[in-house]
Amino acid sequence: MSTNQNLLNDVEEVLLMGPGPSSVHDSVYRAMSVSTLGHLDPYFIRIMDAVKVQLQQVFKTQNKLTLPMSGTGSAGMETSFVNFIEKGDPVLILINGVFGMRQKDVAERLGAEVDSLEFEWGTPVIVDRVKDRLDNREYKIVSMVHAETSTGVANPVQEVGKLVKESDALFLVDAVTSLGGMMVDVDKWDIDIIYSGTQKCLSCPPGISPVSVSKRAVEALTSRKSKVPNWYLDLSMIVKYWEGQKRAYHHTAPINMIYALHQSLYNLLEEGLEPAFVRHQKNHEILVEGLEDLGLQLFVDPSCRLPMLNAVVVPDGVYEAEVRSRLRDEFKIEIGAGLGPMAGKVWRIGLMGETCRPESVDRILDALKKIL
Ligand SMILES: *Cc1c(COP(=O)(O)O)cnc(C)c1O
């Protein structure tokens, strides 16, 4: 038997209805197979510049420092902390799920003095509690997750942003799951540092993390006393590749992933942000109605449900993992399990980007009907 096998011929097409990755449009697959250019090729630099402008449009920002970081959403998270934290800096993190916890872990590893406010999982951040805390202490950074993918909760970023603006702190937001699926308005919401990911509502394969940084945050970066402690994610070096007349090599950009991002942002902007948000909301409502018709319940209150991530309570007596494996094996649909304390208690059904179509809703409802 040969030990060298190609397993790719047998990859099945699966409808990705989990918490990401989401389904990828054919045009994005085609973009990935466009000829690889050199990372300093003049035409590639044109594509880089176009991607920056597309990201500014999608983030709704004039921030000059807006670019795609190499690596998945977590690389964006790391970038957003490592460039702005110096040892002992006071940081406040608002936590109501796995990704808030991850932010805390990242900030602590960098030697920040981390304070956190915790909220019950499945419920949103309570703005008044944030206000109390900010009235009593000063922070260098206040950080939160917009769309908490682990629970399906939408957090009140705009309201918290108003409070943070009254303090001296920088406002840091995780928009990995929200970007492209619901309103994210960086400039209007006074967000100083924001990161996202490609494989959620941007419907691009995983591998890139769009990041945007305000002028105030750039000033914090340039007035650091110590070097950014991570070479690969150091924005002060990376901008020399992404900005200016003469570009300097830092690390080789993942060329074909940038093509894919360019195409997926092109697709999103062609559809229009507003229509894309409406599509997410509509399909979410149809899904919820169908789930309720099947006797299933959503985990999160309607007032703060995410459209693109639906946490569904596993009914008593149902073995949740078996339902997921039957969906995958018999119906070629992937959905997500619960994370952390939610493991075994919920399914997470994603309606992100290209996945968010009436056909997907029909397929999952039909499959769940047959299984349950
Ligand atoms: C998926 C996700 C991340 C992490 O992104 P990776 O691409 O898995 O590294 C961070 N934050 C949120 C809210 C996410 O949903």
From 70, 104, 145, 176, give the residue whose CB has the most ligand 1 atoms within 8 Å, as the site to mutate.
176
Closest CA to 238 of 37, 86, 52: 52
Q: Residue 178 pLDDT more than 70?
A: yes
Percent of the chain with pLDDT over 70: 100
Which ligand 1 atom lies nearest to the CA of residue 147? 13
| 51 has a pLDDT exceeding 70 | yes
- Residue 38, amino acid: G
Q: Which numbered atom of ligand 1 lies nearest the CA of 178?
A: 13
Q: How far is the CA of 73 from the centre of ligand 1 (A)?
A: 5
Cα separation of 117 and 164, whole Å? 14
Q: Examine the pLDDT at 10 and tell me if it is beyond 70.
A: yes
- Residue 215 alpha carbon to ligand 1 centre in Å: 25
Torsion sign over Cα 321, 19, 235, 116: negative
| Spatial distance between the Cα atoms of 262 and 22, rounded to a whole number of angstroms | 17
Residue 187 has pLDDT above 80, yes or no: yes
Q: Is the dihedral of CA 295, 298, 301, 303 positive or negative?
A: negative
DSSP class of residue 312?
Answer: E
CA gap 295, 149 in Å, rounded: 23
Residue to probe by mutation, ligand 1, list 16, 69, 74, most atoms within 8 Å of CB:
74
Which pLDDT tens digit goes with each residue over 325-371? 999 999 999 999 999 999 999 999 999 999 999 999 999 999 999 99
CA 308 to centroid of ligand 1, rounded, Å: 14
198 Cα–ligand 1 center, Å: 10
Cis peptide before 21 (omega within 30 of 0): yes
Q: Residue 165: pLDDT above 80?
A: yes
Ramachandran class of 272: left when φ > 0, alpha when ψ lies in -120 to 50, beta otherwise = left
Residue pair 141/85 in contact by the 8 Å Cβ criterion: yes
The pLDDT-based confidence of 2 (bands split at 50, 70, 90) is: confident
pLDDT classification of 1: cutoffs 50, 70, 90: low
List the domains of the chain with CATH numbers.
10-21+272-371 (3.90.1150.10), 26-269 (3.40.640.10)
CA of 197, closest atom in ligand 1: 7
CA of 74 to the centre of ligand 1 (A): 6
Q: Is 128 exposed, middle or buried (0-12, 13-18, 19+ CB in 10 A)?
A: exposed
Overall average pLDDT of the 124-142 stretch? 98
* Stretch 58-76: mean pLDDT: 98
Q: Ligand 1 mean position to 43 CA, how many Å? A: 31
* 198-233 confidence digits (pLDDT tens): 999 999 999 999 999 999 999 999 999 999 999 999
Q: Are 53 and 39 in contact (CB under 8 A)?
A: no
Ramachandran angles phi, psi of 242, nearest 5°: -95, -10
3-class DSSP state of 231: coil
**Which of ligand 1's atoms lies nearest the C-alpha of 72?**
7
